[in-house]
Structure 1
Amino acid sequence: MFTGIVRGVGRIASIEDRGGDSRVGIDIAGVDLGPVAPGDSIAVDGVCLTATRVGESGFEADVSAETLRATTLGRLGPDAPVNLEPALAAGDRLGGHLVSGHVDGVGELVSRTEEARSRRLRFAAPAPLARYIAVKGSITVDGVSLTVNAVAGAEFEVNIVPHTLTATNLGALAAGDQVNLEVDLVARYLERLLDERGAPTDK
């Protein structure tokens, strides 16, 4: 589990094709992820990856063909900036919201406007995810925990404060850029519970 509180921005150091899937190298220079060991989970732009090899300046992780299809990781090139967060440890402060690192879909930035010292970003989400996005609810965009400020159909708006603009890669987004989205876990579980209540029971 993660919280959506990004520790810093790393870089794609290498991408190696492995016959349908990939092995990626992540440069974490300047990002304090704490002690990282092989087998540890690290969220990379909101995607939970397992470190397979750890070096002084970064780590490597295998990315499955499914993850390459379902997230933006398969579209990133060398030196692309990526948000990084280590897995939540027992006793850690939950500063954002509960995030699984399992991306629900890929969204697209529709527009960005200045609002005082912040930026208001408007995203288009895949239509099936729209029912999980609510005003004042939580959503994860490229691994960043954000509060939804407005919703219109499958589009939603978030406000990015100055700290988040500089501490994540969201400040560099331009209209048309794609992002990984993970909807609130509570909304998904609530839907499942309601579905079960409405399902016919066997007699």
Structure 2
Amino acid sequence: MRFAPGYRRFALPAFVGAAVAAVVFPPLGAVLLAVGAFVLWFFRDPERSPPDEPGVVAPADGRVSVIRVEDGRVRVGVFMNVTDVHVNRAPVSGSVRTVTHRPGAHKPAFSKDSDRNERVDIELDTDAGDHEVSLIAGAFARRIHSYVAPGDELVRGQKLGHIDFGSRADVLLPPEFGSEDVVVEKGESVRAGETVLARRE
């Protein structure tokens, strides 16, 4: 199985500690071994294949937590629970215009206050208009890892980053999209790079 970058920073100390503790205090060794296994599971990076049908695909695994119109554009947000894959993917094919880190709070990613959380905004130029992907930190997330830079060409479903331990990923659709073009509902479970969130007929 593949893992997202950075997993060694969390998993290796746990496994080393487990090896030492197994000799000194076995119960602690078992706990640390479980922690290391959880880290590997959390950083898993499974293969994904975009669907044949057209449309904007989910940037993250999880449940749709936000569907709203702001300043004439529709935002669709996906909340990633601790059990979800945290590797994020491009919702459309296009060129990366900007990658902007915005410092902020670390409120729970499913709350309204999370709009003021630390985030990385990735603007994409596409044939269907400008899209923006926002990787938003959560209560426990302290690092947002972007894999892309301005000028990069992305294809739909390509990996563009991940967030450590709990977060949200949003797609801000072009002005040409309306609420009627969103084909998912709040609370619906989606898969990064595979589930279509919106399409224009």
TM-score calculated relative to the size of structure 1 = 0.27
TM-score (norm: length of structure 2)? 0.28
User: More relative contact order in 1 or in 2 (CA 8 Å, sep 6+)?
Assistant: 2
